[in-house]
Amino acid sequence: MNGRVKDTAIFIDLENVYYGLKKYHMDPDHPDESHNLFLRLQDHYGRESIRMIEAYADFEQLDLSMMSLQKKRVHVHQVYGNGRDGRDRKNAADIQLCLDAMEVLYQIPEISTYIIVSADQDMIPLLDRLWSKGKRVELFCLCDESLSRSAGLHEFCDNTHNLFEFLNIHQFQNLSRVDRLIHNAVVQIYEWYHDPNNIGKSYGSTWIKNDFIRKFHLDELEANQLFSKLLKGKYIIPVEIEMDSKTYYGYKVNLTHPQVQTMVKIAGYKVS
């Protein structure tokens, strides 16, 4: 979009997007600009055309820096949730987003384009209302298995965008359960060695498998199979660590493996 008229308003259900991306160890405020949601939106629509960027979430539950977002000209809205996790978690972020968007609709008529970032079906009434009022409506959402195919979100807006492609992480869009587990396991092992408490330690196979069972909710057989796939695919490699005149055997991620490099980079780590 060109022109200097600030006619674009962006509303982000950040709670929804954060947990959607978290499955891929992806941070919406990614250090790499090509993966950063807020910088990509500004680049795509042009800073000169954006009137406002509003983000809604219970920031007490999210590992995000409000200051970092504010420096990117994002207005953050703290909306408290019900204190639960996972599927039982629900907050008022989408409700507050809808209320604010409707307020802008009637109070700032020169806003002609509304950008909604969310995959929540609760947004359909908002999309429909904005579109019926003659506004251009565009939707960004994660097009994976969590998106209801029956919702028909694209029918209620002028254009839809796949966040996987928009954030340049399209290789993760169609991950199978096995691929997702491999991805999660690689990042888990990589992050274990980055924990200051584990400096000089080795991550042994038994310890790794027990963490798979605990963190990925696998049974013992599944954990063993996942570990075997990591070894067979050369995603991990054995290492020996000397400590106190003893040799300890463990496994590290194989950073010479192109897929491992991509997984680690997407998780926000620099790979030299």
- Please compute, for residue 134, the number of CA atoms within 13 A of its CA located in the half-sphere on the CB side: 4
Neighbouring CB atoms inside 10 A of 96's CB total 17
Per-residue pLDDT tens digits for 10-55? 999 999 899 989 888 899 999 999 999 999 999 999 999 999 999 9
**What Rg value do the Cα atoms of the chain yield, rounded?**
21
- What's the sign of the alpha-carbon dihedral 24, 153, 157, 176? positive
3-state class (DSSP) for residue 36: coil
Which fold would CATH assign to domain 8-172? Rossmann fold (3.40.50)
Per-residue pLDDT tens digits for 93-148? 888 999 999 999 999 999 999 999 986 767 888 999 999 999 999 999 888 766 65
Looking at the chain, list the stretches that DSSP marks H as alpha helix, in order from N- to C-terminal side: 14-22, 37-45, 66-71, 93-107, 124-132, 163-166, 177-194, 205-216, 220-232, 258-266
CATH of domain 177-266: 1.10.10.10
Residue 270 pLDDT: 85
Please give the Cα distance from 171 to 3 (Å, whole number). Answer: 34
The overall average pLDDT reported for the chain is 88
Domain boundaries defined on the chain: 8-172, 177-266
